[in-house]
Chains A and B, each alone.
Chain A
């Protein structure tokens, strides 16, 4: 019981620390620059409390249940030596963590609402939901593919800069033919995908892999998975936009 309280309060402190800079900057601007009564203060404060409590429970649960299992799985697959299962696991891990990523859920919903307001899609709840979920599935699939490529890179020792440059080049080429309405959300989706759930599990996979292969430097080879996972979604969402819009 004691350890639960301790770990919950530690997570609460961390969520408060996450939200503190935003609250401080907003309050400072309200007091010093805007100097007008703030609308809906009560609703904002209760909403922020929900964000803090929600984030605390979320991270507490991840640390309790999913991270230890994911971590040991990542190491087990990295050492097991079966390329097929390793790649299948990488694909599944990338997909599953991205679907559950809170920031992506939020931004995809907002993108769907904006698309409905701009009459890009029908303004019915069904089509808004369909748009935001297909956006998320596209991004999640892209992260899965990125991890497969990233794992292959670590095993084969391909140089990261060449892969990144190749992706940049493809992104630039496809941007030229993609519809203007998808470009903003496509470029944003790269930064959105990699946060609370994805980063710890993906990092565990990368470091585990690089340290279990002889002659690999965990520093040099273990990183770079996140970079690919933030680049491929841009590419895939651009293609999604060309097909869907």
Chain B
């Protein structure tokens, strides 16, 4: 009973603070509908039930996130960086290439969450249409998943060695710039959008927790400066990999055409 009491108390508090998070969007949509478009709200019951579900769902999600997703990311970072696992002895101070399991874990999380991402599947289907078939749906999904996986792995490496985030970001931007110049024009807006689309609501917390947990474990690393940035990597690298994939697909296609005529 005690457990149920604390749970409902927490949920009550969380629902209360969630109300304020959802107030703007609900007000905006209803106000614009009634005042500007001047149409009455259809199906008020459905609207009410839906908004109640949104509030309760968001509250539960945020509670579960505090209780499971964040701790899980930090726990994995802690366990995978324990000196015993890294170097085989409890006293030796690890250097960057001892963190191999962290990189493998980062890669696996990045790849597996992205390949299953519904938003990405939609983007891949559209890219297939836009490119008149030269970009395949599965090819693109694998390209983006590899992009995210390599991005998060590189981001973990950055946290371990403590290099400034902006160096990596600038190098990435320059690469995107060069690729944009050489890529087929129709794919560019899609590629830019794929950066923001791939990091979903459940992936973001676990990736953020992994970075912060890693930074807490690495000697001489400051979570405030080094702990963030993994999501930035995960958003920038898909742009690079989508453009790269489109370029390669375009090159192969024109090559094929040339050799067949």
Residues of A with Cβ closer than 8 Å to B?
Answer: 14, 17-22, 24-26, 28-29, 33-34, 36, 38-40, 43-66, 69-70, 73, 76-77, 80, 85, 89, 92-93, 95-97, 99-103, 105-107, 110-111, 114-115, 117-118, 120, 160-161, 164-165, 168, 171-172, 175, 180-181, 183-185, 187-188, 190-197, 199, 219-227, 229-230
Contacts and interface: CB of A to CB of B under 8 A. Distances in A.
A57 B29 contact: no
Residue from the set A49, A180, A195 with the largest chain B CB neighbour count within 10 Å: A195
A65 B50 contact: yes
Residue from the set B27, B55, B79, B222 with the largest chain A CB neighbour count within 10 Å: B79
Nearest to B222: A118
Nearest to B229: A184
Nearest to A67: B50
B229 A187 contact: yes
Interface stretch (B133-141, B191-199, B244-252): B191-199
Contacts of B30: 69
Contacts of A107: 204-205, 208, 231
Contacts of A160: 188-189, 192
B124 interface: no
A186 to B, nearest CB: 8
Residue from the set B64, B177, B203, B226 with the largest chain A CB neighbour count within 10 Å: B64
Contact of A60 (B53, B69, B185, B197): B53
Nearest to B63: A50
B72 A26 contact: yes
B71 A44 contact: yes
B234 A191 contact: yes
Interface string B218-254: 0000111111111110110000000000000000000
Contact of B28 (A21, A59, A93): A93
A88 to B, nearest CB: 8
The majority secondary structure among interface residues of chain A is helix
Contacts of B62: 54, 102, 105-106
A105 B21 contact: yes
B231 A95 contact: no
B196 A54 contact: no
- The 7 A-B residue pairs whose C-beta atoms are closest, nearest first, are A65-B50, A47-B68, A184-B228, A50-B64, A57-B57, A54-B61, A58-B57
Residue from the set B65, B66, B71, B72 with the largest chain A CB neighbour count within 10 Å: B65
Given A48-B64, A160-B192, A184-B165, A96 B170 contact: no
Residue from the set A20, A54, A181 with the largest chain B CB neighbour count within 10 Å: A54
Nearest to A119: B224
B224 A120 contact: yes
Contacts, number: 331
Contacts of A65: 46-51, 53-54
B196 A193 contact: yes
B22 interface: yes
A183 to B, nearest CB: 6
A32 B209 CA distance: 22
Interface in B114-155: 115-116, 118-119, 126, 129-130
A73 B37 contact: yes
Given A51-B61, A107-B205, A230 B195 contact: yes
B156 interface: no
B173 interface: yes
B75 to A, nearest CB: 7
A55 B57 contact: yes
Nearest to B192: A227
Nearest to B61: A54
B80 interface: yes
Nearest to A56: B57
Nearest to B223: A114
Nearest to A55: B61
Contacts of A175: 166, 169
A58 B222 CA distance: 35
Contact of A188 (B105, B189, B229): B229
A181 to B, nearest CB: 5
A161 to B, nearest CB: 5
A222 B193 CA distance: 11
